Amino acid sequence: MGSAEELKAMAERQELEPIERSATRATSLLVDARRSLATCRSVAANDPKSALLLAWDGIAFPTLAAALALAGYRVTNRMGHHRVAVEASRLLLGDDALLSRIGALRRMRDRGMYEMDSPEVDEIKEALDDCDQLIQRVAEAVARGGGKSKPF
């Protein structure tokens, strides 16, 4: 099954919801993610746990949502929607090491929230570099597609 078919299957399973493709929405999410990235970098050394939560909730997840918006989808609010955001974005952006590390960030965030597992400062710095790369990948897709053609 190809990427487009798998995304449609995810929508049929109500993991994704089809929406109108929107470069404007994607761009807005990327602006917010960049601002959160700057904030994260400024607090990471003194407050790695807060930086971890913001890295996922303020940077990675909105950037994945931007990729999905550009493709004409959004995640639903069903259980597991953060995992779905990573899986669907992997279909759009490619199955590469970056998306695997973003998935690891999601799991690290879960451990921090639910198991009170504190991250190391170096882990956060690496995760923020990955978030920066993710923003760049999605921004390139916005520039290519601009909402008028298929960017992926």
CATH architecture, domain 3-13+23-145 = Up-down Bundle (1.20)
Alpha carbon distance 68, 102 (integer Å)? 15
DSSP state of 59: I
- H-helix or E-strand containing 127? helix 121-145
Closest by CA to 87, choosing from 68, 62, 71, is 68
In this prediction, residue 115 carries a pLDDT of 78
Tens of pLDDT, residue by residue, the chain (152 residues): 578 899 999 999 999 999 999 999 999 999 999 999 999 999 999 999 999 999 999 999 999 999 999 999 999 999 999 999 999 999 999 868 999 999 999 999 988 778 777 888 999 999 999 999 999 999 999 998 765 556 66
Give phi and psi for 75, each to the nearest 5: -75, 150
What are the structure tokens assigned to 136, written together? 């760049």
